[in-house]
Amino acid sequence: MKLLVCDDDISTIDVLQSNLDCVELGISKILRAYNGEMAKQIIDEEKPELIICDIGMPICNGLEVLKYVSDQGLNSEFTFLTCYEKFEYAQMAIEYGVTAYLTKPFDLDEVKNCLVKMIDNHKKKEDKEEVQSRKDSLMTSVFKQACDGMLGTNKEMVDTGLKINGMGFTADSIWRIVYTRADIVDAIKNGWNKELLLFTINRLHDEVLTNYVGSAHTVVNSDDRFIWSFCFVKDAPEGELLKQRCAALGDFCVNHMHLNPVTLISEPFCFYETTFVVARLYDQMRKAKFYPGEIFFEKEESGTVGQEDIALSENQVFWYLKNRDEEGYSDYIDSVLEKTYCTKGNLDQIRKEITNLFITYFRDNGMSINNIFTDQEINKLDERAGENRNALKEYALALFEMQQTKAKEAFDSEDIIARAKRYIDEHFRDDIDRNDVAAVIFVTPNYLSKLFKNNMNMNLREYINQLRIEESKRLLLSTDLSVSEIATQVGYCNISYFSTVFHKLMGVGPFEWRSAKEETK
C-alpha cells in the first residue's frame, strides 16, 4: 500500500517517515506533499490507499483534499493530523467518513495505531469489493444464460438453475428488460476505446436504471460498429418512471460519450419467459434501430407516422459491389433517398447504415476497414452527409468507388504474384533474381519484393531457394549425379553455397541427407 503524508510542516513529514516501520505495516511507498494542490496531483498519479493530511495549508487546504478524494470516488483511507480542534472541521471529517481526527502535537504510537486501523479498513473494503465483484459476475452470467436460452424455458427448470446459482429470486419473479443499441463510430473518433465503452455502458445501465452501484444486471455485447445492452430491471417499475430513467441514461450518453442509443422497454414478464422476450425485442429492434435517441415500449409501433421504414438491403448493396455495378448502385441509393423524409436524423441514420454495410463487406472480404476511417476525403464527405440528399449520395458513391479501387488493387496484387510465381516455377533452374522477374511482369523490383513478401510471407529469393532445394532432393534420390552436378542443374554455380542453403532448409547437408535416405531403403 502507498501512504501519502501531506503537511506544509516538512518536519512533521520527516518525523513520520523516519519512525514508521513500513515493512511491518505493509507500506510499499511513502509519498510527500507540502500543500493541497501537490497532494491532488500525487493522488491522481499514484492513487494512494492511505492519506494523512494537515488541514491548514497554503494554496489548497486539507478539507479540499478530502472533498477531492471523495469526488474522485477513491477508496483511500483518510486521517487528519492537524492543530485545529474546531467542531465544524471534526464534523466534516465524520461526514466524509475519515478514519481518525488526530491533533498536534501528536503521539507517534497513536499515529501508528491509526495507520493499523486504516490498513485494516482498506483490506476490509477490498474484500467486500471482491465478494461483490464475484456476485456481480455470477448474476450477469445468469442473465446472459437466460438471454441465450441456456436456462431453458420451463418454469421448474429455470427455478432449479436459479437455486443452483444462489440467485435471490425465482422463475416467476416479474421483470422488465431495457434493450439499448448505439452506433460507436462517433465515440471512437472522440477518443473512446471499445473496452472503456463496454465497461462504462455496463455500469451506467445498472446505476441509472436499477439504482445498483456495480455491474450485475446488464448484459453488454458489441461488434465493429455497435454496442447493445440488455438491462434487467426487477419488479417491473411503472413504464413512465422507467422511461424517465432511460431518458436520463440517453442524455448522459449523448453529452459525455458521443453515443445516441435507441431504447426498447419490454412489457413486464416472468423471468422464465426471458428467452422469448429477448427474441421479440431483437425482432422489434430491426425497425427501431433507425431512430437513435428515441425510446419505445415493446408494443409501440416504432417510427414517425407516415414515414416508411428506412431499410437498406444488405444483399442488394453487396450484389452491386460484387458485380461492380455502379449505375445500379446509384439508382438504388436514389430510390432509398426518395422514400426518406429529408431530416437530419433520417439522413444521418442512412449514412450510418451505409457505412456499416461497407464495414461488413470490407471485413468479410479480408480488406482493412481502416481504409474507411483514415481516408481524408471520405471523412470530409462523411461529415457533410447529413446535410441533404445530394451530400449523402456523394458519400455513398465515394464509398463505392473506394471499395472498387481497393478490390482492384487486391486483384492486381494477386495477379502480379500469380504471374511472378509462374515465371519462377518455370525458370528457377536459371540464374534469375528479382530484377529478371520484375522485368518480365512489368513492375519495379522494389514493388515486386514488397508485394511478394506481404502475400507469401517469404521474400523472392527464399521462394527460389525453396524450389531449387525441392528439385535437388528429387535428383539426389532418383539419380547417381554428384552433388556438384545437381547443384549446377538446379541453378547454383557454387557448391558451397548450395550446401549452405540445403543445410539451412533441411537441417543437414546434401551428402548426409542422401546417405540417410539410402540407408532407410
Give per-residue pLDDT as tens, 258-275. Answer: 999 999 999 999 999 998
Q: Of 41-45, 172-176, 306-310, 389-393, where does mean pLDDT reach its minimum?
A: 306-310
Cβ proximity of 4 and 33 under 8 Å: yes
Q: Which of 289-303, 322-336, 440-454 has the highest mean pLDDT?
A: 322-336
Mean pLDDT score, 71-93: 80
Q: Output the pLDDT for position 371.
A: 67
List phi, psi (to 5°) of 500.
Answer: -65, -45
Task: Please provide the average confidence, as pLDDT, over all residues in the chain.
Answer: 86
Cβ proximity of 240 and 274 under 8 Å: no
pLDDT at residue 343 is higher than 80: no
Cβ proximity of 451 and 410 under 8 Å: no
Q: How confident is the model at residue 114 (pLDDT cuts 50, 70, 90)?
A: very high
List phi, psi (to 5°) of 440.
Answer: -70, -35
Q: Output the pLDDT for position 308.
A: 43
Give which of 77, 72, 113, 109 is closest to 93, Cα–Cα.
77
pLDDT at residue 11 is higher than 80: yes
Convert the pLDDT of each residue in 460-479 to its tens digit: 999 999 999 999 999 999 89
Cβ proximity of 176 and 236 under 8 Å: yes
Convert the pLDDT of each residue in 278-303 to its tens digit: 888 887 887 787 788 899 998 754 44
CA–CA dist 281, 326 (Å, integer): 36
pLDDT at residue 194 is higher than 50: yes
Is the model more confident about 315 or about 56? 56
Mean pLDDT score, 192-207: 92
Is the model more confident about 72 or about 374? 72
Q: Calculate what percentage of the chain has a pLDDT beyond 70.
A: 92
Mean pLDDT score, 92-101: 79
Q: Output the pLDDT for position 355.
A: 85
Place of cell 414478464: 269
Q: How confident is the model at residue 175 (pLDDT cuts 50, 70, 90)?
A: very high
State the sign of the Cα–Cα–Cα–Cα dihedral 426, 430, 433, 439.
negative
Q: Output the pLDDT for position 410.
A: 65
CA–CA dist 67, 74 (Å, integer): 11
Q: Output the pLDDT for position 377.
A: 87
Place of cell 462523411: 382
pLDDT at residue 401 is higher than 70: yes
Q: Output the pLDDT for position 301.
A: 43
Is the model more confident about 372 or about 381? 381
| Beta-bridge partner residues of 176 | 233
Q: Output the pLDDT for position 309.
A: 47
pLDDT at residue 419 is higher than 50: yes
pLDDT at residue 342 is higher than 80: no
List the grid coordinates of 114. Answer: 491509526
Q: Calculate what percentage of the chain has a pLDDT beyond 90.
A: 37
Q: Output the pLDDT for position 462.
A: 93
With H, G, I as helix, E, B as strand and everything else as coil, classify residue 16: helix
296 to 303, 354, 406: CA distances (angstroms) = 9, 24, 40
